[in-house]
Structure 1
């Protein structure tokens, strides 16, 4: 009894199992700009001069620029928050209530943590310039709070009409009383 041998594997299986052969670089196509091989990098790194560290004044200027970026970040979020508030509608639903809650919570916690927020940018020389930055940060967070107040008013939760205060209004006292049919006033 003769057993049949399995067929040999296809050529692509043999090609995958074989170790790749390195092809010599003989090409008329030049390397792209900025491309360096490992050998070229080792030689070039010794030739390139090291960048000098920034001065103290440059570091302080950079810190103030970063502080300005942090200060205007809440203003960058205002248009998106306004669109979200408009799209959530004016009815009392869990989605709109949670959005309003977050709209109030975020600026309030940011204002309470203003010193901690700008502490990484604080140096003896930058403390005077950071006062303006902190005021802008405070103003942008107040604008976010104003957006929240607008939304609460749109939802009808702010007491802005006379009928909202009827519980504290005294009832009218009549000075005259007219009794129909008698023709006399009491």
Structure 2
């Protein structure tokens, strides 16, 4: 038994089927071709399209000025993106109400987190658009980017104020504090009888 060599069993039929894909099915002759269609004309059209695409010269690469213009357009899209989110964020802030709930707190947290991280990543946000031809044009783009992110922070401050968490006035969360008495009092001199 030790000296007998065993050949592996033949693979199952499904393995053989995977190794050899089926031949494409030929068109059944029962359905006639539509009027004006012939197999020879379709192959001629396909070969003529291939030849016409080969005959056309390759598209010329864009000039540096065109690339700079395209980079500035893409930079404007990045700069305006935070402003496009402001209406959605404002509606979300309005819908959460002014009560302190986990949902409203998380919405306000994200409203602050997103623009602050965007402002901290300002140099990296426009790095791919910078070139010697676009350096001066990107200053205005970066300024708009900063302003749109500051608007989002302002929306967050408004929401925090609406929730009563800003110490601008004496609000409910300061109700435990007693009214402060002044250290000095002014007494009228006249009319006291002294």
Question: What's the TM-score bracket when you normalise by the shorter of the two chains?
Answer: 0.7 to 0.9
Compute the displacement of 1:25 (Å).
Answer: 4.5
Q: Is the 8 A contact 1:159 1:165 kept in 2?
A: no
Distance 1:92 1:161 in 2: 18
Distance 1:85 1:162 in 2: 23
Is 1:21 the equivalent of 2:31?
Answer: no
Distance 2:147 2:185 in 1: 53
Aligned counterpart, 1:119? 127
Distance 1:46 1:22 in 2: 34
CA 1:66 to 1:175, structure 2 compared with 1: closer, same or farther past 3 Å? closer
Aligned counterpart, 1:134? 142
Distance 2:181 2:132 in 1: 63
Say what the alpha-carbon RMSD is for the aligned residues.
Answer: 3.1
**Greater displacement, 121-130 / 155-164:** 155-164
Aligned counterpart, 1:75? 83
Compute the displacement of 1:43 (Å).
Answer: 2.2
Distance 1:88 1:103 in 2: 13
Is 1:144 the equivalent of 2:152?
Answer: yes
TM-score w.r.t. structure 2 length?
0.69
Is 1:89 the equivalent of 2:105?
Answer: no
Aligned counterpart, 1:4? none
Compute the displacement of 1:160 (Å).
Answer: 1.6
TM-score w.r.t. structure 1 length?
0.72
Is 1:99 the equivalent of 2:107?
Answer: yes
Distance 1:135 1:19 in 2: 63
User: Displaced runs of 4+ in structure 1, greater than 6 A?
Assistant: none
- The alignment of Structure 1 onto Structure 2 pairs a total of residues equal to 155
Gaps of 5+ in 1: 1-17, 30-35, 177-186
Compute the displacement of 1:93 (Å).
Answer: 0.6
Is 1:161 the equivalent of 2:169?
Answer: yes
**Greater displacement, 156-165 / 114-123:** 156-165
